[in-house]
């Protein structure tokens, strides 16, 4: 087993600190390199985890951001399937901050929106920054996506991993209680990225952590990448209902059946098939930007459900999303507009990537009928999501395994 690599602030990391963590599995590897420097002078590392299949996951402790994820296609070709930047500077640029797509980031304390940036607890109103029109989004102006987490590498029977920890002080972005957050990323040898979330607090507070990677399973840097989008990806979502929203994308409180609507993804359907349909909900989201109510019938809250399956037309890559969470925000990258140029010079045009954010429902602190997001002192918030990569037996263009 590999001893934890200490994260030493203030010194430049050796660009290629390679460590063999193996024995039998020669390819398992953890590499630590320099990713960039924050305005306050803090050096930020990039960890690249390689599993026994040669799949690679790169994560920076800044924002807990998944920077790259290389998985094989149906012919064994590895390609990066997540949006992001080659260097830290990309995530710090003014253009990026204005667009604010949260590429690959850990989101906290509250993934998704809280109406009016307000909620009350025991009769006290808590006010949060409103960074999305009148509403609070993804933890505020300086959410967990903009914090430098502490990092420690790990290698065990589950795979190669990185453990990130963060202390969020009492009153951070308006939230009560000091929150200790811990997220473990694991890349298993069967090509799953496993995200384990944990948090404790010394006062009652809402918590809803999630991961905000944008996927394009046909690859984000190859020849086809520029100008491509995810509209031909086929998506299945295990949900009979979704939470319709108002103009500000706040749930109305209704759980609406997906039947006979463009939100019915119970069978594999190309994302582009109905995205331009004449539908008020699609108009409000400018495409898909909605929380789906996962079918968890018969499952305990700590059991995984298969939430979604995404299949890419050209490469045959498949991603399944499993989670302990009750909801899934499907966001079809509607606000990407070509103003950002990412890894390898690829322009991120309209709907070039999509996010599948496992979560509790948006605005739960103001919606008494939604599953509660309140964490009490003495309790531990625990959540797990797995992104499992495989391929259809032949490339998607000629055949798919389902339908
Ligand atoms: C939200 C979108 C938002 C995107 C980037 C998604 O989780 O649902 O409305 O534009 O994050 O901030």
Provide the residue ranges of all domains of the chain, joining segments of one domain with +: 84-151+159-391
For residue 5, the 8-state DSSP code is: P
**Dist. CA 290 → ligand 1 center (Å):** 10
- Ligand 1 contact, 35 CB (< 6 A): no
Selection from 106, 62, 11, 90 nearest residue 345 by Cα:
90
Whether the predicted pLDDT of 393 surpasses 90: no
Residue whose CA lies nearest to ligand 1 atom number 3: 101
User: Is 389 within 8 Å of 317 (Cβ atoms)?
Assistant: yes
pLDDT at 27: 87
- Ligand 1 contact, 289 CB (< 6 A): yes
**pLDDT-derived band at 152, boundaries 50, 70, 90:** very high
The H or E element containing residue 323 is: strand 317-323
Instruction: Give me 335's structure tokens.
Output: 């606000």
Tell me the β-bridge partners of 154: 161
Q: Model's pTM, two decimal places? A: 0.92
**pLDDT-derived band at 227, boundaries 50, 70, 90:** confident
Is 357 one of the catalytic residues? yes
* Stretch 145-156: mean pLDDT: 98
Best of 137, 144, 208, 285 for a ligand 1 pocket test (most atoms within 8 Å of beta carbon)? 137
For residue 289, the 8-state DSSP code is: E
d(CA 327, CA 239): 9
* Stretch 299-318: mean pLDDT: 96
- Nearest ligand 1 atom to the CA of 357 is 7
Is 212 one of the catalytic residues? yes
d(CA 23, CA 368): 53
Least trusted range by pLDDT, from 13-17, 246-250, 265-269, 282-286: 13-17
What SS3 class is residue 378?
coil
Residue whose CA lies nearest to ligand 1 atom number 7: 112
CA-angle at 31, arms to 27 and 34, nearest 5°: 155
**Dist. CA 331 → ligand 1 center (Å):** 7
Torsional sign, CA 389, 394, 396, 401: negative
Percentage of residues of the chain with pLDDT beyond 70:
91
Q: Are strands 136-137 and 113-114 parallel, antiparallel or unpaired?
A: antiparallel
Residue whose CA lies nearest to ligand 1 atom number 5: 101
User: Is 287 within 8 Å of 275 (Cβ atoms)?
Assistant: yes
For all residues of the chain together, what is the average pLDDT? Answer: 92
Residue whose CA lies nearest to ligand 1 atom number 6: 331
Instruction: Give me 247's structure tokens.
Output: 């103009």
Selection from 133, 82, 95, 112 nearest residue 338 by Cα:
95
Cβ neighbours, 10 Å, residue 287: 22
The H or E element containing residue 91 is: helix 88-92
Q: Which of 239-269 are b and which e, b meaning 16 or more Cβ less than 10 Å from the residue's Cβ?
A: bbbbbbbeeebbbeeebbebeeebbbbeebb
Fold of 84-151+159-391: Beta-galactosidase; Chain A, domain 5 (2.70.98)
């Amino acid at each position: 087993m590999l001893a934890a690599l200490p994260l030493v602030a203030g010194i430049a990391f050796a660009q290629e600190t390679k460590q063999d963590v193996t024995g039998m599995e020669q390819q398992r590897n953890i590499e630590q390199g320099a990713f960039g420097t924050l305005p306050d002078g803090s050096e930020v590392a990039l960890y690249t985890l390689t599993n026994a299949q040669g799949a690679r996951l790169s994560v920076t402790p800044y924002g807990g951001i998944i920077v790259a994820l290389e998985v094989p296609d149906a012919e064994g070709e590895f390609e990066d399937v997540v949006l992001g930047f080659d260097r830290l500077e990309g995530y710090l640029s003014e253009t990026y901050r204005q667009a604010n797509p949260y590429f690959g980031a850990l989101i906290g304390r509250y993934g998704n929106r809280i109406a009016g940036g307000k909620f009350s607890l025991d009769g006290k109103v808590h006010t949060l920054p409103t960074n999305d029109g009148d509403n609070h989004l993804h933890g505020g102006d300086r959410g967990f996506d903009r914090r430098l987490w502490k990092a420690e590498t790990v290698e065990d029977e589950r795979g190669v991993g990185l453990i990130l920890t963060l202390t969020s002080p009492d009153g951070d972005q308006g939230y009560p209680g000091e929150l200790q957050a811990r997220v473990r990323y694991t890349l298993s040898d069967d090509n799953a990225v496993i995200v384990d979330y944990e948090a404790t607090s010394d006062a009652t507070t809402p918590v809803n952590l999630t991961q905000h990677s944008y996927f394009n399973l046909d690859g984000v840097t190859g020849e086809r990448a520029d100008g491509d989008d995810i509209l031909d990806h086929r998506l299945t979502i295990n949900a009979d209902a979704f939470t319709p929203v108002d103009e500000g994308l706040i749930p109305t409180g209704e759980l609406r059946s997906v039947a006979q609507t463009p939100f019915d993804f119970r069978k594999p359907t190309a994302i582009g098939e109905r995205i331009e349909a004449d539908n008020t909900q699609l108009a409000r989201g400018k495409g898909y930007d909605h929380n789906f109510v996962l079918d968890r019938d018969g499952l305990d809250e700590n059991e995984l459900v298969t939430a979604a399956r995404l299949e890419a037309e050209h490469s045959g890559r498949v991603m399944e999303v499993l989670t302990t969470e009750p909801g899934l925000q499907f966001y079809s990258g509607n606000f990407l507009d070509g103003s950002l140029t990412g890894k390898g010079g690829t322009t991120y045009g309209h709907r070039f990537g999509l996010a599948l954010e496992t979560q509790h429902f948006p605005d739960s602190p103001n919606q008494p009928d939604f599953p509660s997001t309140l964490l009490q002192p003495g309790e531990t918030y625990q959540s797990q999501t797995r992104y499992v990569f495989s391929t259809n037996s032949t490339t998607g263009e000629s055949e798919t395994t389902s339908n």
